[in-house]
Structure formats: C-alpha cells, structure tokens
Structure 1
C-alpha cells in the first residue's frame, strides 16, 4: 500500500506512540501532522503543519489523506476553563470529522473515553458524548470511536487522580479477571495498536470499548 495518514495530537502520549508505529508500517508512505509544535522526530515520511488547531477548518486544501487519527484531548488540570476545554475535546475532533466528510476521506478514528454520555451530568463525560454524537452525524464511511479507561504511560505532567487509580488497580486483582475487568488501565501503545488495526481491517463495531482495545492490541503481542 501507499497510504497517507493524518494525525492530530502527535505530540501527546498516545499520538506520539501512534506516530512511531506508523513510521514502521510499510502500508503508510506519508504521515501528515497538524499541531502547534514539532514532535522533534525527523523522518522522510513526516510532513508537519504548525497551526492553531482551533482554526483547523481553514486548512481544507491540505487536509487530505486515506486515514485520519484524532488523538486530541486535555484535562481539567491543564484546561480549567470549560469553554476552552470544550473547544479542544469537542471542537477539534468535530472540525476534523467535518473536513473528512468534505474531502471524502474514508476513515476517521478518534479517541473518546469510557463513560462518555451526551446526557451525563459530568461535564467531561458529557463533552465526550456530545463529540461522539456529532462525529457520527457526518456519516464517514469508516468511523471508529475508542473509549479507553485510564491511559497508562510516562507523561511529562503528573496527574494525581491517575496516580490514585493506578495504586488502587495494583491492589485489586479483580481489575484483571473479575467484573471490574472492563475498567483496567490501558497503555497508550495498546490504544495506538488498536487504531492502526481498525484503520486497516473490517470491524463492525463503531464504538470500541476498553476491553476490545485490550483484545485487539493483545492479538498483536
């Protein structure tokens, strides 16, 4: 194959893992990155556009690919302002999906979250749910929405809530085998593996829950 991929969020934890995997994947000859800053990775496949992602809709002429991977996301700690938070977690993925529709890009894969629900009383879950709902309205030929639990990985910033969850998970074997298994943390590497698989395989499910992410990624190991 000679595919082109677009990654939004390649400087983040999961997006960076995805980028590294695509660089090793012979099916992809061109990887286009839209971000505010460089990943710092030099490779002949990489083509970077340094832009204001809030203005993504202005880049329709260069937003062209076979597969679009959206790994955009923030946290309450990093983005306490709710309007800015929504502009990131809802606005950017929706703008990307809209460009996919306008440019006839057949594949759009986006990371959401476990617990996403457009009717939730929790702002975070409601924002993710509304994003999913809007993305699906564009009716892109192949759309997959990943809903991971806690994402494990070596982040530059420390997240206290995630640290607490990790300590609890170490003390709870049921997260591995029991009814709570669906809540087990998932690494950024596994999420990236699942995204690449979904872009290149026939998979009926649109929403990919946490357990399915683990199952898809483990099939590679």
Structure 2
C-alpha cells in the first residue's frame, strides 16, 4: 500500500492521474498540493498555496511515490521567469520534498526533445529539470517524454489544434498521445518491479505501457 505525493494535479495529465490513483486499491492516501482547489476525492488531501513552494516545505507525513505533472508554456506563464518557476523550480522542489519524506520513486512528465543543449528555450528548461532530478540520485527515477498531448484542456492551445491531426499519424516517439494514456503508463510504471535507476519513456513506450493498464 502506497502513499503518494503529486503536483500538477489540476493539469491535463495530472487530472487523469489523480482520479486513477484515487480509484487504485494499492494507494492509501494522496497528498496533492495545488494553487486552486481540487474536487473532493476520498483519498486526496489537498493543501492549497498560490506558490506551492511553502506548502511543499511544510509537509511532514512520509510518502512512497512522487509524481510531478507540472507544465505550462511560455505564453500561458506570461514570461520566461514564470515558465522556469513552473517547469523547473517547482518540479525540483517537489522532488526535494519527496526525498525528504522518504519516497523511493519519482515520476515526472517532461517533453519530447528535452535537452540541456537544445536551442529551444522550452526544451532546454525541460532538459535542465531532468538533469537536476538525475543529480538528486533517486533510487528510482522515471521521466516521461510524451510528444503532443491530446485531451480536453481548460485553455485552448491553437498550435495543438492545428497540428494534432498530423501528430496522430506519426510513428514511434513522435506520435501524439492522449493525456489519460500518459497517466495510465505512469501508474503502470510506478507499480512495476524496478529495473534501471533512471528510465526514460518516449511516446511510443508510453503507448505500450498504457496498453497494459487494461489488465489492471
């Protein structure tokens, strides 16, 4: 039985993930700090904080597994600084809180193309976030790198609507993926036997992992 810490639970992947975790018999409690309130769920404790950082430092109960589904775009964030806060700083703070609380497995949603050496700001920040988590030397770290995420967002993203038909047809790691399938894949990976200390799953691998969830 596992206690879970999750950030990003109000987002596209995180929303699916927290509902699935709430229904999972292997989970006893879910601590989900958010900026805005979540719908009431039986297993979910939902401390709220406009900045998230303060509430993460105040958590004291032990957890077993940590998920971070935090993510935005520079346009939605409003500035480079706000984007870095959401996609780097708060993810790293989530991981540090999990380590302090005794977690052994961290799972994070990153992005296709994440690289510290990328010429693109978005991908470079994602790559720097991944590198920081790897440097924390987790007993087990899973990094999900989905391609274009599909699903119903509260805020419409024009580029995703424009290019999603194409990305649905692409093969392997380039193929678009439903947010709920990313959530299913993360849960499957979280409760699977450990293999490597660091596992990176692209969209093709996430599709495969999600496919197994029908058996759960």
Report the alpha carbon displacement of residue 105 of structure 1 after superposing the two structures with TM: 1.1
Q: 2:199 matched to 1:206?
A: yes
Deviations 1:45-100 (A, max 9, x none): 111110221435532425x3111110000112211310111011000111111222
TM-score (norm 1): 0.90
Q: 2:40 matched to 1:49?
A: no
Q: 1:160 to 1:192 in 2, by over 3 A?
A: same
Q: Secondary structure at the match of 2:213?
A: coil
Contact 1:89 1:131 in 2 (8 A): yes
TM-score (norm 2): 0.92
Contact 1:54 1:87 in 2 (8 A): no
Q: 2:28 matched to 1:35?
A: no
Larger radius of gyration: 1
Contact 2:64 2:102 in 1 (8 A): no
Q: Secondary structure at the match of 1:130?
A: helix
Q: Which residue of 2 aligns with 1:156?
A: 154
Q: Give ranges in structure 2 of 5+ residues lacking alignment.
A: none
Contact 2:7 2:34 in 1 (8 A): yes
Contact 2:9 2:17 in 1 (8 A): yes
Pick aligned residue for 1:145 from 131, 143, 146: 143
Q: 1:57 to 1:219 in 2, by over 3 A?
A: closer
Contact 1:7 1:69 in 2 (8 A): yes
Q: 188-197 vs 51-60, which deviates more?
A: 51-60
CA distance in 1, matches of 2:138, 2:159: 35
Q: Give ranges in structure 1 of 5+ residues lacking alignment.
A: none
How large is the Cα RMSD of the aligned pairs? 1.6
Q: Which residue of 1 aligns with 2:209?
A: 216
Q: Which residue of 2 aligns with 1:129?
A: 127
| Runs (4+) off by over 6 Å | none
